[in-house]
Amino acid sequence: MKKKCFVLMGYSGSGKTEIAKALEKYSYNILQSYTTRQPRYEGEYGHMFCTVDEYEQFERNGEVAAYSLIEGNHYFSTKEQIYNTPNLIYVCDPDGIKDLKEKITDIEFITIYIKVDKKTRMRRMHERGDSVDKILSRVTTDGIKFAKKRFDYQVINYEFDKAVKIIKNIIETENEQPLN
């Protein structure tokens, strides 16, 4: 059986990052993707921050597994991360997922789409502290990005604990063993 990697996808504000964090208590590891954007504050968690030169070096060496350009910044993961992280949960957009499936054929990527209506997503982004400009920009670009989405499972995230439980069940079913 191929190794399985679980990928959470969804529009901004759908809750994929919070759900991924909740899965860490079951020994799942969230992939920290690289980005060339500046950290929002010192010590920001969630990404590996690198320079454009470093990104270009990874690209030249054929090390990039999944790539996305977001607001002029490079976001990517490396093959080393994908192969060497056990119990991997990856929050990724449709562009990145397409890359992963094309470049890494010996791992099965199980995609889980987190679905929430637009009004709720915008409210959550607002409550999270995002600016109005940023919210409108993400809603528009996400609309384009997700126009041709494909996924293996769809989970609605209005009740957080329920959504996490359903995703835990999906992982257990796919792995044919319980999560501890």
Ligand X SMILES: Nc1ncnc2c1ncn2[C@@H]1O[C@H](COP(=O)(O)OP(=O)(O)OP(=O)(O)O)[C@@H](O)[C@H]1O
Instruction: Using CB under 6 A, list all residues that contact ligand X.
Output: 10, 12-18, 124, 128, 157-158, 160
Nearer to ligand X, 49 or 160 (CB): 160
- Is the four-CA dihedral 84, 98, 30, 28 of positive or negative sign? negative
Rounded to a whole number of angstroms, the minimum distance from the CB of residue 13 to ligand X is 5
Shorter beta-carbon distance to ligand X: residue 62 or 72: 72
CB of residue 124 to ligand X, shortest distance in Å: 3
Q: Which is nearer to ligand X, 24 or 56 (CB)?
A: 24
Residue 17 or 175 with smaller CB distance to ligand X = 17
The residue type found at 90 is Y
Rounded to a whole number of angstroms, the minimum distance from the CB of residue 176 to ligand X is 28
Nearest to 75 by CA among 104, 37, 113: 37
Nearest CA among 48, 77, 52 for reference residue 64 = 77
CB of 42 to ligand X, least distance (A): 20
Which of residues 83 and 146 has its CB atom nearest to ligand X in the complex? 146
Q: What is the DSSP letter of 25?
A: G
DSSP code of residue 68: E
- 144-159 b/e (C-beta count within 10 Å ≥ 16 → b): ebeeeeebebebebee
Task: Count the Cβ atoms, other than its own, within 10 Å of residue 112.
Answer: 22
Q: From the CB of 89, what's the least distance to ligand X, in Å?
A: 12
